[in-house]
Amino acid sequence: MARMNTAHAVDFAPAGLESVETVEVTADLLIIGGGNAGCFVAVEAAKLQPGITTVILEKADIRRSGACSAGMDAINTYIPKGKTPEDLVRWSRAQVGGGPLREDLALSNAYELNECVDDLERWGLPILRDEEGNASYRGKWDISIHGEQLKPIMAEKALESGADVYNRVVATGLLMHDGHCAGAMGFGVRDGKFYVFRAKATVISTGGAGTLYKSYTADSTDSGAQIWMCPYCVGSGYAMGFRQGAELTSLEQRWVATRSKDFCGPIDTISVGYKSAIINAKGEHVMDRYKHLGGDAAPRYIRANAPMEEWLAGRGPCYCDTTRLSPEKAHDLLVDYLNERPSFVLFLASRGQDVTKEPIEIYGSDPYIVGGHTGSGFWVTMERMTTIPGLFAAGETAGGNPNKFVGGCAAEGKLAARGALAWMKTRSLAPLDAAQIAAEKARVYAPILRRGQDGIQPVAMKERLQRLMDEYAGGTSQYYRTNEERLDYALRHIKMLQSQFAYLTADSLHMLMEAHETMDRVDVAEAVVHHLKARKETRWAGWQTRMDYPERDDVHFDCFIESRRDPETGTITTFTRPYEQLISGDRQKA
Amino acid sequence: MPPIIDPNKCNGCAGRNETFCEEICPGDLMALDATTGKAFLRSARDCWDCMSCVKACPRNALETRIPYQLGYYKASLRPIVGRNTITWKCKDIYGKETTFKFANRIA
């Protein structure tokens, strides 16, 4: 085990690029992002190939990094006795309105799924069980856990696997050689050094992209990060791959979920698991309006959009009716929250709210690009290789395969590890390209070399982007709706933001990280807008609502929307790929 | 304003290369103020309220507060981290206290 030492951030004021130290690290396998998927990549690689040298590149500390950093209260998919992996794919397909989705990927994940959850239990994760020892199901597929320690447990196993963990190193770009990925580059947010990681294979598992859109709780004050997705997952993985020409799929299938209002706590599994109905201001059961689509068990995007439609129709606010819960059940509910989002319990206390007397108010979240939940991410092969040879994706970064959640991201970590190991058998380290490294180093440090000069603060550009996306690309303030003209407007302004990257300034290493996160957000947002433009229909209202094309158009759009950015010119093109149904049955039903 | 730091309890994790809160924060938001020798939060607006820092602090010097824009004064939630359990003590704005204790690791 080797956790590289970290320390207080140094006072970093380089006179020029030549005074910035470059550190070169070589490994067989590079994992960018030590979250849920990344930890499973490391463990699986060491298991299959003892002695392999693996490096995990992590911008935080892997014990509390990524989407699981606050904890988790459920494993949303665990195949119960009597059900099959094919049944799980049918459910996943119905949850996204019949697709399109990559049923090949989904099925391979489903076959690995339960073993991964069992791994977690063997590693020490408490899974709630009934008297017969069966996992305690909240709904059809999701089981209750006490996951406060979920992330530390995964991280311990990744460290025990022998991987070298470089915490507090921010990845900024891929290292390329002859069109394939040969590693990555980045900088230390504590030591200021420039890092070049060379590897035979690279897995990108940096999580999804929260913070592209403005959260309605962002009052320019103390609540700019009150979102449901981990706000430190900003889409850097998508951005790094996309800038080098990796194909992205389904970015228009944004994840929007019903969440507690004013403090983004989980709701939809609670409403189903605790049988607490969604009601409107009049006390009416909102999902009764959607009986033909499954009512309380309707697909996620319908459940996410339904409360917002009530608001629009003048029947808001809406609530998750917890007032029928017994005191014991209410206690269990709060314990679930303490495991996943403890500060939500504090929020309720700060409202003086007893949930058995007053229902929990709900609202739609800001939109996220998260391939562990919807289909957004890199187009990958069955080996989880992106369209850049040598670059693999797992978890939120891998697209086409929605509803993975914790267990599925773990499963995909294993599959990506196997794919990467098979690839590296025939590969040796690529030679270093000094010009490429010099160019990235200059790009990385440019904002801090401009410190003290007039320019743009990273936070200002971030908030400009977030407002743009919210108002023009279908954010919460617009009830997720957009049209061609708004999207064109968004693209024009995204181009202006990109043309002003050259004015970003940073006074510290932390601000330098913010500058790169902001540039990554802008580049991912550009891809998202192109995807929203390309799908000229409304397939998943709420996740993807086109006011100018309000109907679903199966003739033209029962297919994947893809995008690719030319690495030389930056020009983005969109195109389609066909959907293939592999698992029998009515696509709308599970 | 989450989290707030009690300067009487915080000792900057004297002797360590980084403070426990600085080491664990997923947003790189905690740091040590070299002049006071105490931890500080770089940017309240960027805090997710994940409470990783509060759990990691060995001196109970950190407390997460809900931004007033979202919740009223004053409620508290304190974790007490055990070996395989965690205990949470919550007090709402009316002074009502509730305690929750559960296993977070299989012993």
- Among A60, A11, A512, smallest CA distance to B23 is for A60
Q: Per-residue pLDDT for A96 more than 60?
A: yes
Q: What average pLDDT does chain A have?
A: 96
Are A185 and A438 in contact by the 8 Å Cβ rule? The answer is no
Pick the last residue of a domain from A364, A384, A416: A364
Q: What is the pLDDT of residues A176-227, one digit of tens each?
A: 999 999 999 999 999 999 999 999 999 999 999 999 999 999 876 678 898 9
Distance CA A214, CA A476 (A): 8
Q: Per-residue pLDDT for A271 more than 80?
A: no
Same domain, A452 and A543: yes
Q: What is the pLDDT of residues A288-298, one digit of tens each?
A: 999 999 888 88
Pick the last residue of a domain from A333, A364, A395: A364
Helix orientation angle between A509-534 and A458-472, rounded to the nearest 10 degrees: 20
Query: Which pLDDT score, from 0 to 100, does residue A354 have?
Result: 96
CATH of the domain at A345: 3.90.700.10
Are B90 and A109 in contact by the 8 Å Cβ rule? The answer is no
Interface A-B: count of C-beta contacts within 8 A: 170
- Residue A463 located in a structural domain: yes
Query: Which pLDDT score, from 0 to 100, does residue B1 have?
Result: 54
Distance CA A563, CA A453 (A): 37
Q: Per-residue pLDDT for A231 more than 70?
A: yes
Scan for tokens 């609502």, then name that residue. Answer: A545
- Considering the candidates B7, B42, B48, B98, report the single residue annotated as catalytic: B48
Beta strand extents in A113-189 (DSSP E only): 143-144, 164-166, 169-177, 180-188
Q: Per-residue pLDDT for A54 more than 60?
A: yes
Same domain, A454 and A544: yes
Number of domains in chain A: 2
Beta bridge partners of A25: A197
Q: Which domain holds residue A470?
A: 445-550
- Residue A19 located in a structural domain: no
Query: Which pLDDT score, from 0 to 100, does residue A139 have?
Result: 86
Query: Which pLDDT score, from 0 to 100, does residue A27 have?
Result: 98
- Among A482, A484, A522, smallest CA distance to A500 is for A522
- Residue A478 located in a structural domain: yes
CATH of the domain at A492: 1.20.58.100
Are A29 and A199 in contact by the 8 Å Cβ rule? The answer is yes
Contact residues, A window 121-140, toward B, CB-based 8 Å cutoff:
121, 124-126
- Mean pLDDT in residue range B24-51: 95
Query: Which pLDDT score, from 0 to 100, does residue A272 have?
Result: 74
Q: Flag whether residue B5 sits within 8 Å of chain A, measured between CB atoms.
A: no
Helix H or strand E segment including A74? strand A74-75
Joined together, the tokens standing for residue A231 give 């706000």
Q: What is the pLDDT of residues A396-439, one digit of tens each?
A: 999 999 999 999 999 999 999 999 999 999 999 999 999 999 99
Distance CA A116, CA A218 (A): 37
pLDDT-based confidence at residue A275 (cuts at 50, 70, 90): confident
Q: What is the pLDDT of residues B47-86, one digit of tens each?
A: 999 999 999 999 999 999 998 989 999 999 999 999 999 9
Which residues of chain B are within 8 Å of residue A222 when distances are taken between CB atoms?
1-2, 44-45, 67-69
Concatenate the DSSP letters of all residues of B4-47 into one string: EE-TTT--TTTTSSS-HHHHH-TTS-EEEETTTTEEEES-GGG-
> Could you say which of A226, A339, A349 has the minimum Cβ distance to residue B90?
A349
Q: Per-residue pLDDT for B2 more than 80?
A: no
- Residue A571 located in a structural domain: no
- Residue A184 located in a structural domain: no
Query: Which pLDDT score, from 0 to 100, does residue A469 have?
Result: 98
Distance CA A356, CA A330 (A): 7
pLDDT-based confidence at residue A2 (cuts at 50, 70, 90): confident
Distance CA A546, CA A544 (A): 7
Reported ipTM: 0.98
Q: Flag whether residue B106 sits within 8 Å of chain A, measured between CB atoms.
A: yes
Query: Which pLDDT score, from 0 to 100, does residue A273 have?
Result: 78
